[in-house]
Structure 1
Amino acid sequence: MFTIPLLLLSVVPQVFGCADHQNFMRPGHNEKRQLNISNTGRTPTYWAYEASFNWGKLSPDYHLCQDGTQQSPIALGLNQGLSLYHQPDFSGYPSEVLGNYYNWGYGPAFTFYREPGNYTSLPYMTVDGERMYMTGWHIHSPADHTVGGDRSKAEIHYVHYTADGHERAVVAIRLDPGREDSPFFAQFPPAIHFNDTSAIQNLDMDPMQAIREVSNFSEFWTYKGSLTSPPCKEGLQWFLARNILFTSRLQMQDILGASTFSARAEQEVWGHEVNV
């Protein structure tokens, strides 16, 4: 992996932190499905994925990136088995949800509309009786997680919050090129480029479609982990589908052409409680 020495970080251009899905405002009636220029609400940062091993040195607020006990991502493998518990129930995902399609500075992303401060109107999954509300999704390229030493071309993250607005869980699905179009990605127009971080398009989408394309998430790993960008906050439950979501060659080229490197270095397994 290409890395940037710590002394050179001061000259790294401004980049954006992991998609925080704060561009949640409803568009005007006449703006729906149009491409607009908007402030997406992302905060500039001065760290880089290529130098993720040094994040803990950049700020005291990033100390968990260095000394955390449940940092993500981790390497997974079939020799660890699959989860026998904590099966997500996605019946709270409606078939049509309005939101904003954009680029989070590293790849395609989508944020659902909600009233400010209101998370309970969002699509939700239920795990062990707890509802977790999905604010949107974004793509990392290449994939954050490896399985059996193999790293997919990309990985989509469905980000979930608690009802009171705290990060709670990530549903992750690896993406690779196959022979046919993915119905999930067929819902969207050509991806907005990573340099066009002020462009935003208002669309309806079906979040359940990606779940269908990985055998309804019937096989998965789960572990206790963290955000994969500073401040590397811990306390999130990760769910990674065993099945890969396959796109067509052209769809994958569209995703990769709109993306730039956004995979954090893998972390050593410590207090992650894999499949527990």
Structure 2
Amino acid sequence: MIAQQAIGLIAISALASACAPELYKRDGIHPAHIQKRQHIPNVVEDTRGWTFDQSEEWNTQSPGWGACFAGTQQSPIDLQTSWGFAKSSPPVFNYPKALKGPLNNWDFGPQFTLAAVADDNTTEASIQFSHDGVEETAYFRSWHTHAPAEHTIDGYAPRAELHYVHYDDAGIPRAVVGFFVDQATAENPSSGSAFYKQLESLALPDIFNNQTIPEITLDLNLAISEVNDYKNFWTYKGSLTTPPCLEGLRWFVSKDIIYLSDAQLESLLKVSTFGARPVHRVWGHQVNA
């Protein structure tokens, strides 16, 4: 019985770690680093160490990371415009206009975590969507950025990608809402992203200082508005893009792009470093199904 309980605790611990990039740190974790993050709920630090440029070897770094190499629904993928877009309705976004939580750096770029109710896997922000014909609700837990973008569009990788990560009421990662982020051009002019302007007055935590801004207030809806209310999107069955590469997530990725001004993009890249997993061949992803 004791052995079974121990195995169960290990399994729960592994699942808790399979939440989102905020739970995984590269080499160099030290007590001060962990101490500064202790106030963030549901955060489990991983001290084993991994990098994106060694992603093909993740399965050799932990017995629980086998899906990173052998999984059939691994993310990201190259999204093809020739496929068309999802014919289903976009997720129903139930995001309050003012969400409060800490802002830190997950060693690859900015990350915001919603202050959750203790002992409750639900939050005040959620999405509703259909998965295999079943209506589901998933609760927003955090957003983070990758630079460059992890997904590609017909082989093109925008400068960055923004992920809204959602969990089910059991505390398991369930859905990711993705946004491409790119530089404004003459063909796609922009005076700046309204979503990113919420961060402009902040000294963003960078990849070196391990600092956390204890509380900021954000409106997640601004990003939705900037991509034409998420009317054109791809959806597929995928995975976390970081170890342990947990599969079974529902992905949504907007075709429309959030365009940053030059100053905004420079600000983002200054506090980022390479954080993109290579795209995977489409296999069991059931794109737009």
TM-score tier (shorter): 0.7 to 0.9
Q: Is 1:220 the counterpart of 2:220 in the alignment? A: no
* Deviation by residue 1:46-102 (Cα, 9 ceiling, x = unmatched): 211001111112221111011111000011110111000152011x11101111111
Q: Is 1:169 the counterpart of 2:189 in the alignment? A: no
| 8 Å contact from structure 1 (residues 139, 157) kept in 2 | yes
* TM-score of the two chains, using structure 1 as the length reference: 0.85
Corresponding residue for residue 71 of structure 1:
74
| 8 Å contact from structure 1 (residues 190, 254) kept in 2 | no
| 8 Å contact from structure 2 (residues 123, 141) kept in 1 | no
Corresponding residue for residue 5 of structure 1:
none
Q: Is 1:185 the counterpart of 2:196 in the alignment? A: yes
| 8 Å contact from structure 1 (residues 142, 261) kept in 2 | yes
Shift of 1:43: 2.6
- C-alpha separation in 2, matches of 1:53 and 1:214: 32
RMSD between aligned residues: 1.7
- C-alpha separation in 2, matches of 1:147 and 1:190: 32
Shift of 1:18: 1.6
Q: From the superposition, tell whether residues 113 and 20 of structure 1 become closer, same or farther in structure 2 (CA, over 3 Å).
A: same
Gaps of 5+ in 1: 1-16, 22-35
Residue in structure 2 matching 1:89, options 89, 92, 95: 92
AA paired with 2:103? Y
Corresponding residue for residue 287 of structure 2:
274
| 8 Å contact from structure 1 (residues 214, 243) kept in 2 | yes
Greater percentage in helix = 2
Q: After superposition, where does 1:6-155 map in structure 2 within 5 Å?
A: 18-20=21-23, 37-39=36-38, 41=43, 42-90=45-93, 92-128=94-130, 129-155=135-161
Q: From the superposition, tell whether residues 38 and 76 of structure 1 become closer, same or farther in structure 2 (CA, over 3 Å).
A: closer
* Deviation by residue 1:186-215 (Cα, 9 ceiling, x = unmatched): 112242111122433311110111001100
| 8 Å contact from structure 1 (residues 37, 200) kept in 2 | no
Overall identity of the aligned pairs, in %: 37
Q: How many residues align?
A: 245
* Bigger mean CA deviation after superposition, 177-186 or 134-143: 177-186
Shift of 1:248: 1.0
- C-alpha separation in 2, matches of 1:93 and 1:199: 23
- C-alpha separation in 2, matches of 1:187 and 1:136: 16
Secondary structure in 1 aligned to 2:194? coil
* Bigger mean CA deviation after superposition, 112-121 or 71-80: 112-121
Corresponding residue for residue 274 of structure 2:
261
Shift of 1:37: 4.9
Corresponding residue for residue 17 of structure 2:
none
| 8 Å contact from structure 1 (residues 117, 165) kept in 2 | no
- C-alpha separation in 2, matches of 1:190 and 1:150: 31
Secondary structure in 2 aligned to 1:113? coil
Q: Is 1:206 the counterpart of 2:219 in the alignment? A: yes
| 8 Å contact from structure 1 (residues 38, 200) kept in 2 | no
| 8 Å contact from structure 2 (residues 102, 212) kept in 1 | no
AA paired with 2:118? P
AA paired with 2:139? Y
Show structure 1 runs of 4+ deviating over 4 A.
none
Q: From the superposition, tell whether residues 37 and 229 of structure 1 become closer, same or farther in structure 2 (CA, over 3 Å).
A: closer
AA paired with 1:98? K
* Deviation by residue 1:117-173 (Cα, 9 ceiling, x = unmatched): 313233001113321100010001110000011001000000000012110000000
- C-alpha separation in 2, matches of 1:227 and 1:37: 25
Secondary structure in 1 aligned to 2:79? coil
AA paired with 1:111? T
Shift of 1:38: 4.5
| 8 Å contact from structure 2 (residues 159, 182) kept in 1 | yes
AA paired with 1:139? T
- C-alpha separation in 1, matches of 2:63 and 2:47: 18
Q: Is 1:159 the counterpart of 2:161 in the alignment? A: no
AA paired with 1:75? D
Gaps of 5+ in 2: 1-19, 25-34, 185-189
Shift of 1:222: 0.4
- C-alpha separation in 2, matches of 1:235 and 1:37: 32
Q: After superposition, where does 1:214-253 map in structure 2 within 5 Å?
A: 214-253=227-266
